[in-house]
Structure 1
Amino acid sequence: MAQQQSIRRRGFTAGALAAAVGLLATALATTPSVAAAGPAVPFGSHQFPYAAGTLKPSGAQAAVDQQVVTTYKAWKSAFVKQNCGNGWYQVLSPDADHPYVAEAQGYGMVVTALMAGADPDAKKIFDGLVKYTLAHPSVNNSALLAAEQDSSCRSVDGSDSATDGDLDVAYGLLLADKQWGSSGTYDYKELAVKHIAGIKKSEVNATTHLMLLGDWSGSGESHHWITRSSDWLIDHFRAFRTATGDSAWDTIRTAHQNLITSQQSKYAASTGLLADFVVNTNGTPKPAPGKVLESSHDGDFGWNACRDPWRIATDAVTSGDAASLASARKLNGWIKAKTGGDPNKIGTGYHLNGSAFESGKDMAFTAPFAVAALTDPGSQAWLDALWGKLAATPVDPKLYYGASVQLQSMIVASGNYWVP
């Protein structure tokens, strides 16, 4: 870490009723900015089927959904706060470098938009998060979010941006536009497009089309040719392309998919693991040769890359993309064999050859592999073991990062994620 009515009219035939419902659905789909009384995609409605062949946890869907809601309520209680007034909501990150980080606010926006329908306060919380993000712009590009705030919600450490936070903020705004329309307090669509433009301008390397670490690592800065694998959010790039009509996002998406494939092939052929940071992107990209930003393990599968199985597999199951599917299956096949099918044996850090360098346990590493397991028709028992582990693991109010990754992985694994 940068440390989601019935109609009864006398005289309606079934066919006429179906036609009327069809017309209504078409109207709603083509006018996403009209405010609705409730969320258009309430949690648990499963309106967006995953790619054919995608697994799901065994058991009744309603029971699986309820396990997500239970985890969400615990996560919300622990981390969703109004500590600084001004009508703001913030997601607290007690285990990060600062009490409030951009990554956490991005998570909060995506989660609350996806949980709408299960949480009647979702829109209120979302709007409070929007108000908070708008009040904390980056000093380098005011369309982006300052990366870190102190306990008084004052931006600190230069007030520049962190790419992962901005990607999720923009994505959350697109979800909100589909959920609630954009004619209320905030024009979510307009804000999203502005944020996406800011990302393209200040957080995408214009030469390589790869994500920069933040708007502080522009041309001439020593980290300009470094990219972080946990920022390679393929499904987000697809959503940005749809929202803006800008074909540059196709180029950006393809560049990242090609990098994932080549890094797996060249440096982790037996595991599929990716490094936290990849350097030399202007030449032959390779895992960091030691500390380039955070630790001596920047070239290993560590506390950033641990999210990659979740992120890559999310694109695989929502888009059916062959490259994402192949990359996710590599990761799934390796971890299933490594642990012998026992989720309790997933550790908290691996070299790219699959050997462990830490012996800890954390949901940030365990939960993403549940999403990867969705992609392999032969992994039902493995998925069920992982799901059981996630559902049975209580949210630790001291560990925002692991809990947030756990919750979001459960949202995807339960079939409740969708791409706007």
Structure 2
Amino acid sequence: MTGRDEARVPFGARAIPYAAGTLRPSGDPAAADRRVLEHYRRWKAYFLRSGDEVGGPGRCAVLTPDAAHPFVAEAQGYGLVITALMAGADPDAHALFDGILRHVLAHPSVNHPDLHAAQQDAGGRDAGGRDSATDGDLDIAYGLLLADRQWGGGHGDYRALALRRIDAVMESEVHGGTRLTKLGDWSSGRYDEISRTSDWMPDHFRAFRAATGDPRWDEVLAAQLSLTGALRTRHAPVTGLLPDFVVDTTSGDPRPARGQVLESPHDGDYHWNACRDPWRLGADAVTSGDARTRAVARGFSRWARAATGGDPARIRSGYRLDGTGYGDPGSPAFFAPFAVAAMTDGGDDDEDGAGAQGWLDALWARMCGSPPDPARAYAAGVQLQSMLVVSHNYWVP
């Protein structure tokens, strides 16, 4: 085992290269690293809480002032992934990772001890049903795999914890028939036939397959990439956009939600969940080189570039699947993920290579010029992780 703060894959080293043909922002990579580090430091200052604020000494948690509860599973997953990736630049990254992990382990789901209760109140008490949210558990498991590669050993053995959590996700948060992700370990009845597209994280599923040897993760990957293609063809042939939620997943004809099925009347639109899809699918495209995720990510990017005339300031915070915008422009949760997709936009078959590079550079400049808002943890977390990918500082364990 290495020393506590010694990173095996240090931030800035780019030790694990991306797929051939992946674009990067123009200019000095070291300058890009400095912008990521600046954003990370602000993210830490605004959103990381520790000690008595989150249940006692040695614990940390990511605060979400914009969520229904101060501490949510999604944010803790983000925190684990971010701190593992920032090792080598932040000497406190390992301690922060372990602090967040202690918070997670102190709040098991009421339905499965190896999943995380999705919400805690300001006093650090479980709230909102004490059950899980799939996106949080996926990132928590993935963060543990990153930590095992980065530091080895650690709090309760990162790898053993990761394997238990991955198996729990398969048992309780993946549908046994469709192999699509469910909403959480609580999903039953009509909710058992709903899947959230932003939970479709191909790079995570590849990492889970490699770590466990379980071929069912190949089925999960195949099912979600197949449905991604079908949804784009049938419901968004012009834009390629995906909806927040897909319903009737066991019917043989899954489709975008019509109206509110879980969160809002926009559940069938490209809204505050699906806005992460260009990041999630794009991250897989640039790390795996898979032609399927590359095609989806490139489709996202080219539509957005055309729809905005190459101006990231025109990206709206919400779209119908036909491309009709309805939200205000300006949220990093919407424009930052398109930068990840834009990394796939070049190549020999690109009719406008200069335009693709210019689009990526414009998105990068927009991100660099948009510091975190201390009232908007969700957007800040999405933006920081998008910046990690775009600066070529992301990797798959």
How far has the Cα of 1:185 moved from its partner? 3.3
> Which residue does the alignment assign to 1:168?
139
Alignment deviations for residues 145-175 of structure 1 (CA, whole Å, 9 cap, x no partner): 0000000111111100000000000000000
1:296 aligns with 2:265: yes
Equivalent residue of 2:190, what SS? coil
Residues 11-22 of structure 1: matches in 2 within 5 Å? none
Which structure 1 segments of 5+ residues have no match? 1-33
Which residue of the other structure, out of 381, 392, 401, is the alignment partner of 2:369?
392
Alignment deviations for residues 210-237 of structure 1 (CA, whole Å, 9 cap, x no partner): 000000004xx22000000000000000
Residues 21-420 of structure 1: matches in 2 within 5 Å? 34-36=1-3, 38-82=6-50, 83-84=53-54, 85-182=56-153, 184-218=154-188, 221-283=189-251, 284-377=253-346, 378=353, 379-420=356-397
* Whole-angstrom distance in 2 between the partners of 1:181 and 1:35: 8
Equivalent residue of 2:191, what SS? coil
Amino acid of the structure 1 residue aligned with 2:298: R
Which structure 2 segments of 5+ residues have no match? 347-352
* Whole-angstrom distance in 2 between the partners of 1:300 and 1:311: 17
* Whole-angstrom distance in 1 between the partners of 2:247 and 2:190: 11
CA contact (8 A) 1:36 1:181 kept: no
CA contact (8 A) 2:313 2:329 kept: no
Equivalent residue of 2:246, what SS? strand
Equivalent residue of 2:193, what SS? coil
> Which residue does the alignment assign to 2:349?
none
Structure 1's consecutive aligned runs of 4 or more residues displaced over 6 angstroms after TM superposition are: none
How far has the Cα of 1:361 moved from its partner? 2.2
Amino acid of the structure 2 residue aligned with 1:210: L
Amino acid of the structure 1 residue aligned with 2:296: S
Amino acid of the structure 2 residue aligned with 1:387: W
* Whole-angstrom distance in 1 between the partners of 2:68 and 2:272: 14
* Whole-angstrom distance in 2 between the partners of 1:67 and 1:35: 28
Equivalent residue of 1:81, what SS? strand
* Whole-angstrom distance in 2 between the partners of 1:177 and 1:36: 13
Aligned length: 384
How far has the Cα of 1:359 moved from its partner? 2.3
Q: What percentage of residue pairs aligned between the two structures are identical?
A: 56
How far has the Cα of 1:363 moved from its partner? 0.5
* Whole-angstrom distance in 1 between the partners of 2:43 and 2:156: 25
CA contact (8 A) 1:411 1:417 kept: yes
Structure whose CA Rg is larger: 1
* Whole-angstrom distance in 1 between the partners of 2:111 and 2:292: 35
How far has the Cα of 1:36 moved from its partner? 4.3
